[in-house]
Amino acid sequence: MQKIELEIVALSHSITQSHSYAVVLGETTGNRRLPIIIGGNEAQAIALALEKMSPRRPLTHDLTKSICDEFKITCTEVIIDNLVEGVFHAKLNCTDGEKEFLIDSRTSDALALAVRFHCPVYTYEFILDQAGIILDDEFGATDGKRPKKKVHIKDGGDYSGLTLENLNTKLKEFLDNEEYEKAILIRDEINKREGND
């Protein structure tokens, strides 16, 4: 089966399930999207890695990456390879430099590790046929490719009234208290003000 490359294009609260998030994957050369419901911890792990934010103490996915690095194991790709009764299944394609091996994984964990290993994410046509959605060319791209989008976690928090100094203080406070979702929202506001958005 031919693999189709995906990338993370959005991460937000799920509108269908409370206390859950939706990570939206998009074809790198098409307009189909694959929304996947994930838990809050995995959403934070993905968002922190995408935003290049370092928690005070390593999260589980950071620990896993460190262990792999120590034993010279790398993840070369993530494959979302099945969809059974609404549940996505994924595999990590790993190597120790001599042999390759596939490791079964929850899709949310696989995506959190893919971001840390900077490896591609793939799926198959039958999964996009079953669970994908087609969007009109909302990005205005004329060449069939869409520009890279910065990923944000959204919860309606409004930090626009704080000064830049207060935002940086809050960011440090949230990171120290391991309130990563709030830290990401603060980071988004700082980036917006500094013109990095």
| Domain residue spans of the chain | 3-72+108-154, 157-197
Task: Report the CATH fold assignment for 3-72+108-154.
Answer: Bifunctional nuclease domain (3.10.690)
- Summarize pLDDT for 122-140 with one digit per residue, the tens: 999 999 999 999 876 444 3
SS3 103: strand
Contact 102, 114 (CB under 8 A): no
Residue 101 and residue 68: Cα distance in Å, rounded? 13
- Summarize pLDDT for 151-160 with one digit per residue, the tens: 444 444 567 7
The pTM of the full predicted model, rounded to 2 decimals, is: 0.73
- Summarize pLDDT for 68-88 with one digit per residue, the tens: 999 999 999 999 999 999 999
How far is residue 38 from each of residues 20, 88, 178, measured CA to CA in Å? 6, 10, 19
Q: What is the pLDDT of residue 150?
A: 42
Q: What is the pLDDT of residue 18?
A: 64
Say which residue, 161 or 121, is predicted with more confidence.
121
Name residue 38's beta-bridge partners: 21
Q: How confident is the model at residue 148 (pLDDT cuts 50, 70, 90)?
A: very low
Residue 120 and residue 78: Cα distance in Å, rounded? 6
